[in-house]
Every structure is written in structure tokens, then in C-alpha cells.
Amino acid sequence: MKRTTGPRALALIISAILLLAGCGREQAADESEDPKLLLGFSQLGSESSFRIGNTRDIEEKAEEYGISLMLENANQKQENQIAAIRSFIAYRVDVIAFSPIVEDGWDNVLREAKDAGIPVVLVDRTIRTEDDSLYESLIGADFYEEGVMAAEYLLRKADDLGKDRLNIVEITGTEDSTPMKQRHEGFFDTIGGDSRMNLLESVNGDFLRSRGAECMEYLLETYGDDIDVIYSHNDEMTMGALPKIENAGYRPGEDMVIISIDGGQEAIDILKEGKINCIVECTPMLGSILMETAMKLKAGEAVEKVTHPVERTFSDYDDIGNLEPRGY
Ligand code: GZL
């Protein structure tokens, strides 16, 4: 029977090697200048410009703050994030940070971190737990508010279009992730009382460009001319959908209102061309707040339980000709 080394076994092997080889933190400190702070960060993957920009910003800010960073990319797998957190515990980092790919399934490993006396910071997304002492701080967007901002744009657009019926299709992000759940709730809570608004169907695109294209192909085959509005939970899926809309003979941004989220350069440029009507910003630039928070935790100082960055909307109602380069 072929035996593979699962992530848990892998974490245990890494831990054993580190401990047996005496490469734990204490040993390293004797041999070289101990950095002022060792931060272990588990990134969930590289699925979007947002994610790649977030990783780059964290790396750059660690360098700027003189913080030693152990960064592990989980390639969209929760089990890889759990294994990475266990290896950070074995290595006895000062602070653990991670962007949880989904909300559930973290209590056990975070209890191990807590038992080891290592503080944990959530970056970008949050977890669902009965015990919020398992993490010190959440640094990330208010996704519910992003959904509200998207809906507020649509209500304004609906008034200008003067239609008494708007059929909506929704392309959602990763199932059970905080942005997927809250962007949906914020949007539909805001338009819920408006009789003009009609949801045809929500389909899951997992925040991926390729899946966004597949979702749009299905929605066009199923609803075609009936589609008035596309609400997409991130720019990657939106950019996957756009060629499908055009190949089907529709003008995105004119025949169909396109609302997206993130605000990376590629999507902003498409908005300037008029093929996307509204983009709600979701900034990946969380590195500075993360480094400040990690340094406070190491110094034993109090930190905010939740920090939301300030975000805005870009739309066809704005003059964005002179917008600063987005940096992601
Ligand atoms: C939101 C972040 C989402 C982005 C997507 O902060 O978690 O994940 O909107 C990314 O682009 O995949």
C-alpha cells in the first residue's frame, strides 16, 4: 500500500528534526544574533492579485521593520496551513500569523499555539470559534461593509437606469470563507427591501479566474438575455467572466452592470475602459499593521482585537483618470 506523508505527519517530522538537531530557537540564539522578532506567517495561497500583493507587502514590511519572517504558502489547502502553524510552534517563533482559508477547523492547532505561549494574529480573513482567546488580533477588511458598498452602488445605478426589475447573478468566493459569507450577506441585506432586485442564482467561483469563466459560461447558457447585473466577489473571477460575456455578444458594463471587489491595477484599467462599472476596494496592504501588532505582542503590549483598513469604491460615477498606481 502506497504510504504518503500527510501534512500532520510532515509537521511532526519537521518538529522532530528541528528538536533533535537542536535547531530550536534557543539553540539558534546561542550561535548567532537573535533577531528582534521571529514571525511565522502561513499564507493561504496565490489565487489572486490581491493574495500575491498581500504576500509581497508582508515580505517588504518585514524587511523594513527588521523582522525575521518564516513564510509558508499553503497552496489553497487548510491542512498545509495547520502543518505550517505546527512547525512554527516547534521552531518557537515569537508570533504566529495566518490568513485562514476557511472559517472552521482551527481550534485544535490554535490551542497548541496558546499552550506553547505563542500569540496568534489573523490576517485578512477570520475564523469561527467559541474561544476568541485563541487569537490576539484580526487585521483585515470589513467584508460585510464591502458587500454593503457594492449594493449601495447598485441602488444608485438602478435609479439611473429607471428599470422596475433588475435580475442579478452572483459569482461567489471560496465556500465557508469570511469574504464569501460576508460579501454575500452585506450585499443582499442592503438590497433586500428593494422590490426591483431579483437574484437569479449564486454560483461558486472559488476566487479563481478559471472558475469565474466557467461560472459565467453556465450563467449565460442558463439565463442569457435575462441577466442585468453580475455581482462578483473578486476581480479574478470578474476577469475570467468578461471574455465569456463578450463572446456571447454582450457589452460588459453596458448590456450588463458588472460589480467586482479587490481593486487591483488590471481590474481598475478595465473599469477605466467601461467594461466594469464598480469595484469595491479590498486592500492587501496589511503588512505594516501586522508588523506593528507583532512588535507590540512581543513587547507584552495590548493590541486591538480587530483592525479594519479604510476602503473605498471606484465606479463609473468617479473621475479616476489620475488614480495612483494600485501596487497589486
Ligand atoms: C479578501 C481576500 C479575498 C480577495 C480575493 O480580503 O480574502 O481572497 O478578495 C482573495 O481576491 O482570493
Tens digit of pLDDT for each residue in 271-324?
999 999 999 999 999 999 999 999 999 999 999 999 999 999 999 999 988 899
Average pLDDT value for the chain: 92
Tens digit of pLDDT for each residue in 42-63?
999 999 999 999 999 999 999 9
pLDDT for position 74: 98
Distance 157 CA to ligand 1 centre (A): 25
Q: Grid cell 487569537 — which residue?
A: 135
pLDDT at 2 over 50: no
Ligand 1 is surrounded, with C-beta below 6 A, by 47-48, 50-51, 124-125, 141, 179, 207, 234, 236, 261-262, 282
Distance 19 CA to ligand 1 centre (A): 36
pLDDT at 260 over 50: yes
Please state the rounded mean pLDDT for residues 150-174. 97
Give buried/exposed letters for 217-244 (b at 16+ CB in 10 A, else e).
bebbeeeeeebbbbbbbbbbbbbbbbeb
Distance CA 237, CA 4 (A): 33
Distance 23 CA to ligand 1 centre (A): 35
More confident residue, 40 or 11: 40
Please state the rounded mean pLDDT for residues 143-148. 98
Q: What is the DSSP letter of 170?
A: E
Distance 47 CA to ligand 1 centre (A): 9
CA dihedral over 199, 203, 206, 209, signed as positive or negative? negative
Distance 172 CA to ligand 1 centre (A): 11
CATH number for the domain running over 38-141+284-310:
3.40.50.2300
pLDDT for position 292: 98
Give the atom of ligand 1 at the shortest distance from the alpha carbon of 124: 6
Distance CA 170, CA 173 (A): 10
Give the atom of ligand 1 at the shortest distance from the alpha carbon of 207: 12
Are 241 and 169 in contact by the 8 Å Cβ rule? The answer is: no
Residue 146: pLDDT band with limits 50, 70, 90: very high
Tens digit of pLDDT for each residue in 197-212?
999 999 999 999 999 9
CATH number, domain 143-282, options 3.40.50.2300, 2.60.40.420, 3.40.1280.10, 1.20.1250.20? 3.40.50.2300
pLDDT at 173 over 90: yes
Distance CA 111, CA 118 (A): 10
Identify the residue whose C-alpha is closest to ligand 1 atom 3.
179
Domain range summary for the chain, segments of one domain joined by +: 38-141+284-310, 143-282
pLDDT for position 27: 47
pLDDT for position 188: 98
Give the atom of ligand 1 at the shortest distance from the alpha carbon of 177: 7
pTM of structure: 0.89
Nearest residue to 237 (alpha-carbon basis) of 254, 261, 201: 261
pLDDT for position 320: 87
For residue 67, count other CB atoms closer than 10 A to its CB.
22
Judged by average pLDDT, the poorest of 25-29, 138-142, 206-210 is 25-29
pLDDT for position 36: 83
